[in-house]
Chains A and B, each alone.
Chain A
């Protein structure tokens, strides 16, 4: 509380020294974990990004949808692209477009972008989450590990209809 004596040269006591060393070692461990996982881990944050205008992205997605559409669900086209190809997902108020049908155990290059405001890609119940920005094409190399019906919800506030923005992602065996 009050003005202390000048005690800057006073050495640390034993418990303080021990704790400082333990804490420092723990911090170094935390620091090492991220690069270690980056090299060895199989789940890493995608970094591949391209700039794209909303107009360009819409055209790409429309062409992609026209080429591989197999079905329609609740008015949204269902698209089954070839295994291992580039697949596209478009976020807009308040819809994910189109619905993707993927194969289990196959890697895809998943492109995500928005044509209006910011959105949040949240794959449930896998619970994988990525930010979606207009003007940026974010490429995630993903491999579904289990077949089933998954949900995509928006988890970035995107104006009043935000809670209606949900869709499906289908993974087949």
Chain B
């Protein structure tokens, strides 16, 4: 553990010492974390409200909004969820992972506030201009569909603000190293966040390369923007942005595993290797959106879509084993050694950090990851491009996976950072189950509808106003109803989360937490069980055989779905 001495240069910063972790907490960093986290939750609330209205429209039997408002709110929903909620939360996470976890000070808090203000102004500007009806172009704003200049400006201001946050994260790391606030390597969570931050730089620069020309074109300064250039650059922003979420989420998985059962990675090298694979290969994912575009040929598409040789997928497969295995070894160390799955049965299932971790991993991997690899296969993409299978995939990854992981983490950060007692603990305990089951239905409903040809971003698949009758199978209606019911359940879970957070932050007893305790009990696994793994421990009676069976089952499931899709492709019209 780090030593709590105060270098001279830190005299200016104000600290408190956290009585739980004995880490020094820079008060400036703490205030910034709180501001960014609150902004994240506000945009989650707005985006969630839009989600409710959109879902009740796509559920064909309800069909709530008119076409204009459906497309308008869908545009705003995409931005608020994929960009605002995620990135605000990540900036909070970056400051936490650098300044606080490394026992260091926040470099240039004023600049950090400038970044925060730019992000907030950009996000509000985007929402206002879209609600005014000046940007009905979807979140992707594909040229030559034109929006008001402030639409692009809002986007750009947000990105610049986020880039400042990422830069300060690196500055914090450098400063912590120089001032020797910690010894040894940085913790795995910080390492994972550094991965996210490196990806974020690339992402945000690509975003500027897409959106700055679009802004100039919207202002009539340049005559046009090439659609293939724009799509390539936009997705070099849009897809890797989700990989930033991925790296942040995996970091939080490791954190939750250590919080709730005292798990520590079996082998740091193994887990860190997986993060390095992300850094090297995951940015090629832009191609996923261009697989059936005119222009690039097979070699370009196949190389990029597979992240060179599925090496970023390999990274995820490593985490898919190493996290459950770490949990299993920690549980076995407590004596749950019977059979292959006793450790899992005896897990703290009422603990929201544990249930959200497990549900997040299962939905992310089994639903999101598997479908992602399949629709990202060059030829199979012809069966999936722009159908509801795509939103089905990313609602499993970003919403069921990342959002649920972020939610789970919040329950532990409220006592630590906000220094408020968590209220409504029963609600917190149930929340991951409600949200997770709803999102499972949402994703499956969308994927099933997409397999039947239902397009994404579409107001009315009955084509009531069109002169032609359309042959989309009637069974698609059932899938959309499944999706609609799932959305209502998931939104209930979202409301439960927001209620717990708001009631705790504004109504929780203000008190200094003295030890990190679980939500549903007084135990403290982090201190009681979190021991570094000894050599060869993972090979004796603590061997993670259950986790190994789980990943093998996962692989079989993935192979089945993958090969089924090739079979479907082989039955269709010939095309070259």
Contacts and interface: CB of A to CB of B under 8 A. Distances in A.
A61 interface: no
Nearest to A76: B467
B382 A45 contact: yes
B64 interface: no
A151 B472 contact: yes
Interface in B191-234: 226-228
Contacts of A120: 385-386, 455
A144 interface: yes
Contacts of B451: 127
With most chain B CB atoms within 10 A of its CB, the pick from A149, A158, A162 is A162
Contacts of B453: 122, 124-125, 127
A45 B317 contact: no
A134 B254 CA distance: 46
Contacts of B532: 4-5, 7
Given A129-B384, A144-B573, A75 B467 contact: yes
Interface stretch (B82-90, B400-408, B564-572): B564-572
A80 interface: no
Contacts, number: 300
Given A142-B574, A163-B67, A166-B466, A13 B536 contact: yes
B570 to A, nearest CB: 7
Contact of B574 (A23, A47, A145): A145
Interface in A156-173: 156-160, 162-168
Contacts of B296: 47
Interface stretch (A29-37, A62-70, A83-91): A29-37
A16 interface: yes
B378 interface: yes
Given A7-B267, A30-B313, A43-B379, A129 B292 contact: yes
B292 A45 contact: yes
Contact of A142 (B137, B188, B573): B573
Interface stretch (B10-18, B160-168, B298-306, B498-506): B298-306
Contacts of B179: none
With most chain A CB atoms within 10 A of its CB, the pick from B187, B384, B463, B470 is B470
Contact of B572 (A45, A128, A160): A128
Contact of B379 (A44, A127, A164, A167): A44
A82 interface: no
With most chain B CB atoms within 10 A of its CB, the pick from A1, A7, A74, A140 is A1
Interface stretch (B25-33, B318-326, B433-441): B318-326
Contacts of B264: 1, 4
B471 A124 contact: yes
Given A10-B269, A15-B325, A27-B313, A160 B71 contact: yes
B512 interface: no
With most chain B CB atoms within 10 A of its CB, the pick from A37, A45, A107, A144 is A45
Given A44-B298, A44-B576, A155-B458, A160 B144 contact: no
Given A1-B255, A34-B377, A45 B291 contact: yes
A131 B292 contact: yes
Interface in B539-553: 539, 543-545, 547-548, 551-552
A123 B471 CA distance: 10
Interface residues of B, number: 110
Contacts of B397: none
B258 interface: yes
Nearest to A105: B574
Contacts of A4: 184-185, 187-188, 264, 268, 532
A14 B545 CA distance: 11
B204 to A, nearest CB: 24
A141 B138 CA distance: 31
With most chain B CB atoms within 10 A of its CB, the pick from A15, A18, A124 is A15
A71 interface: no
B92 interface: no
A32 to B, nearest CB: 9
A2 B379 CA distance: 45
Interface in A1-26: 1-8, 10, 12-16, 18-20, 22-24, 26
Contacts of A118: 142, 144-145, 227
Contact of A160 (B136, B182, B452): B136
B513 interface: no
Contacts of A38: 298, 302, 379
Interface string B70-87: 010000000000000000
Nearest to B191: A4
B387 interface: yes
A137 B473 CA distance: 31
A167 B187 contact: no
A13 B145 CA distance: 54
Contacts of A123: 573
B132 interface: no
B295 interface: yes
B49 interface: no
A35 B302 CA distance: 8
Contacts of B185: 3-4, 6
Nearest to A18: B548
A125 B184 CA distance: 59
Given A38-B298, A129-B383, A163 B470 contact: no
Contact of A164 (B145, B465, B545): B465
B459 interface: yes
B472 A164 contact: no
Contact of B555 (A22, A28, A116): A22
A60 interface: no
A75 B468 CA distance: 11
B467 A16 contact: no
Contact of A2 (B1, B68, B293): B1
Contacts of A47: 296-298
Interface string B128-170: 0000000011100010110000000000000000000000000
B322 to A, nearest CB: 7
B528 interface: no
Contact of B576 (A28, A46, A156): A46
5 contacts: A22-B555, A30-B310, A30-B562, A123-B573, A157-B145
For the complex of A and B, the 10 pairs showing the least CB-CB separation, nearest first, are: A155-B455, A138-B294, A27-B310, A13-B538, A143-B574, A155-B386, A74-B467, A23-B317, A129-B385, A49-B294
Given A41-B570, A47-B296, 13 more contacts: A3-B187, A13-B267, A13-B537, A27-B310, A31-B309, A44-B576, A49-B295, A117-B145, A131-B293, A133-B294, A138-B294, A140-B576, A155-B387
